Structure 1
Amino acid sequence: MTRKLFMLTSAFALATGVNAAGADTWRYAFEEALDEVQGKFAQKFKEEIEANSDHEVQLFPFGTLGESADIMEQAQSGILQFVDQSPGFTGALIPEAQVFFVPYLLPQDEETLAEFFRTSTAINEMFPPLYEEQGLKLLTMFPEGEVMMTTAEPVTGPADLNEVKFRVMTNPLLVESYQAFGATPTPLPWGEVYGALQTGIIQGQENPAFFIESTKMYEVTDHITRAGHNNFTTAVMANLDFFEGLPEEEQTLINDAIDTAFEYIIEYQEGLTEESLEKIKEAKPSITITTLSEEERQPFMDTAEAVEQEFLEIGGDQAQEILDQLKADLEAVGAES
């Protein structure tokens, strides 16, 4: 059986099993393992739903139903009720969501970042209608941690990324960002990344520290670079028809569970980055972990304006409005902090 046929068969089995499972069973797929950040969020959501209702929530970690594109299709079709997916993959559906890949836009301070996601007008008011156009109910977005580069050779500036084949998500703006950084961006599904690094097909990739550690990506890299250019963002969505078909009290149940899981995952991540880096260093003492100085970061920061302009070109009809509102939201939380 081919891999694609397996995916289709799995989806069909889910679809035909709806009546057997019963209306009280909700299905939730995400892009990480159960013990990673998205998995922890999903488990907390499941716990809250099951403690406060008769519903059961079935969780499907990465790989059980296919790649990111597969679970998105299943969520849009109603086979899945919930899906957690980064804007890095939904950027083709919702071009405005690519704004999260403008480098050096989001703050590095974790408390400020969390408050931004809680209160942002752009996230909580402007994005939901865009997701609805794709048959999705945006329930929340949350940060997953500082994004770091892993490479075969040390990186202290854009010149060190020259001709480096750098894996990126299938997102046009992320491609533009790494081109501006001097690399050769190479879109690849996540399932192919470890092998591609191992065989030298690519020489770099980016992810938060917890993900580099849990997926053992450090085994096939020699250098981790903290350029401070971004924080990984993800979005939790429901199938729109499913959500709108629920009685008001069940919609409230879902929203309350999402709010609880959001606060839980923010607290869960406190200290997670440094703890993960310590585990990586312990597992591979030869690896170098470098935090670039402000002077070293400046050439990377200088590319942000060009990437921002590209976002305005490819980011959809509301790109300018959303970018302006995001900046206003960030300025507001920055002033408060």
Structure 2
Amino acid sequence: MSKHTIMAILAATFALTVATTAFGAPKYQWRLAEEEITGSVCDVYANEFARLLKEKSDGEIQLDIYPLGTLGSPKEIFELCQNGAIEFVLDGAGQVGSIVPENQIFSMQFLFSDNQEVNEKVLATSKALNEMLSSAYERQGVKVLAYWSEGAMDWTANKPLLTPEDFKGFKMRTMPSPMIVESYKVYGANPTPVPFMEVYSGLQLNMIDGQENAPYIVQEMKFMEVQDYYIESAHKIYIMQTMVNKRFFEKLPEDIQKIVLEAVDELRPFGYKIQKELNDKRMDMIKAKMKSSQKVVAITPEARAKFQELSKKTDSTYIKISGNPELAEDILATLREEIAEAEKEASGN
């Protein structure tokens, strides 16, 4: 979809809003574009956000939702929010890495905990993310209201991937991200960028040997039809961002800003609940359809420690590709400290 078409859609929406305001429409009518389809975790979150805004404002706020494809690609909808053409956007961190390169920290492997409750706490309270990283977004005209997870990512493959040595020469499908590519190179793998919609055929034709995704994606895309092993690695978490145009938000009355922030805060446990329920359900569906020759395996704590140590070799890549190396180094060091402290608290030590 061209930008001209997108702008035409938005202009028509605005005209309709103006026309209906005179007939008792909400005082505030905003637009949110999301990077996923109707019925997804992202979409359920977006609709709950709209419901909370309406409820908390006594009907004065209406948030219109635009699912994937309605207003363009994930990168295009971020740019629409950045330029003020829409007010809100829900986008995965990796979708805007070329605009805010410091956010490529989310593409680093074995950085976050394998305890998802620990990760939820870190995402909500981290200074490294909510202050330091967010400052890089604000320089681009966008304010991050929340970082939240759509679940841990695992590997599927045609052989068990339980140690770094198992990756030698392995053709792992990746997104075309230098950070992700480097993450697999340190294991000795052969990272192979492939468009998402070509992953199934790539696995089927042995052009690639494996891929990474959360359980609900693996099940939805039927990847286990052409893979022998599901490896519970939790090597990354898929980070979604709730964002708003900075200038728009700062011009809102203080009481309306407060409503938005309260709604986002209430969505944290809701987002965690829906992604966990969906991923658990889809994992059960994956296991139920497995043949006797297929297996679900998991990496051991000892192997995780080896992966973590090797993954630190990508620190220099992250710092190099960031727009601000000094900031990136501070973000990474601070985040590691925060994760370690949260894990310590969770273990009771």
TM-score w.r.t. structure 2 length? 0.85
Note if 1:265 corresponds to 2:305.
no
Of the three residues 308, 318, 322, the one matched with 2:331 is: 322
Q: Hey, what does 2:344 align to over in structure 1?
A: 335
User: CA shift at 1:294, angstroms?
Assistant: 3.1
Of the three residues 316, 321, 326, the one matched with 1:309 is: 316
Alpha-carbon distance change, 238 to 297 in structure 1, aligned in 2, over 3 angstroms: same
Q: Hey, what does 1:46 align to over in structure 2?
A: 50
Equivalents in 2 of 1:152, 1:64: separation in Å? 36
After TM superposition, the structure 1 = structure 2 runs for residues 100-139 of structure 1, keeping only pairs within 5 Å, are 100-139=106-145
Alpha-carbon distance change, 336 to 293 in structure 1, aligned in 2, over 3 angstroms: closer
User: CA shift at 1:131, angstroms?
Assistant: 0.6
User: CA shift at 1:32, angstroms?
Assistant: 2.3
After TM superposition, the structure 1 = structure 2 runs for residues 1-337 of structure 1, keeping only pairs within 5 Å, are 4-5=1-2, 8-22=4-18, 24-53=28-57, 54-270=60-276, 272-285=278-291, 287-315=294-322, 316-317=324-325, 318-337=327-346
User: CA shift at 1:298, angstroms?
Assistant: 4.7
- Structure 1 contact 149–224 (Cα < 8 Å) conserved: yes
Output one character per residue of 1:157-178: Cα deviation in whole Å (capped at 9) or x when no partner. 3444344443323432112102
Equivalents in 2 of 1:73, 1:89: separation in Å? 11
Equivalents in 1 of 2:253, 2:164: separation in Å? 53
* AA in 2 matched with 1:106: F
Root-mean-square deviation (CA), in Å? 2.5
- Structure 1 contact 112–334 (Cα < 8 Å) conserved: yes
* AA in 1 matched with 2:265: D
- Structure 1 contact 108–231 (Cα < 8 Å) conserved: no
Tell me which moved more, 265-274 or 27-36. Answer: 265-274
* AA in 1 matched with 2:42: Q
Equivalents in 1 of 2:111, 2:131: separation in Å? 19
- Structure 1 contact 67–189 (Cα < 8 Å) conserved: no
The structure that has the greater radius of gyration is 2
Alpha-carbon distance change, 76 to 189 in structure 1, aligned in 2, over 3 angstroms: farther
Equivalents in 2 of 1:120, 1:297: separation in Å? 23
Alpha-carbon distance change, 205 to 30 in structure 1, aligned in 2, over 3 angstroms: farther
* AA in 1 matched with 2:34: F
- Structure 2 contact 35–67 (Cα < 8 Å) conserved: yes
Equivalents in 1 of 2:5, 2:208: separation in Å? 32
Equivalents in 2 of 1:189, 1:239: separation in Å? 29
Equivalents in 1 of 2:200, 2:248: separation in Å? 36
Output one character per residue of 1:260-304: Cα deviation in whole Å (capped at 9) or x when no partner. 111211233445543321111223435432112234445433321
Output one character per residue of 1:208-256: Cα deviation in whole Å (capped at 9) or x when no partner. 1122223433344332212232222221111222222222222111111
Output one character per residue of 1:7-35: Cα deviation in whole Å (capped at 9) or x when no partner. 65244322443232347332212222333
- Structure 1 contact 147–206 (Cα < 8 Å) conserved: yes
Output one character per residue of 1:105-154: Cα deviation in whole Å (capped at 9) or x when no partner. 11111222111112111122212221111111111001221111122443
Output one character per residue of 1:15-63: Cα deviation in whole Å (capped at 9) or x when no partner. 4432323473322122223333222221211110122232222222223
- Structure 2 contact 116–152 (Cα < 8 Å) conserved: no
Equivalents in 2 of 1:78, 1:189: separation in Å? 29
Number of residue equivalences? 333
Alpha-carbon distance change, 279 to 119 in structure 1, aligned in 2, over 3 angstroms: same
- Structure 2 contact 110–235 (Cα < 8 Å) conserved: yes
Structure 1: which 5+ runs fail to align?
none
User: CA shift at 1:330, angstroms?
Assistant: 1.7
User: CA shift at 1:321, angstroms?
Assistant: 0.9
* AA in 2 matched with 1:24: Y
Q: Matched residue of 2:32: which SS?
A: strand
Equivalents in 2 of 1:165, 1:57: separation in Å? 43
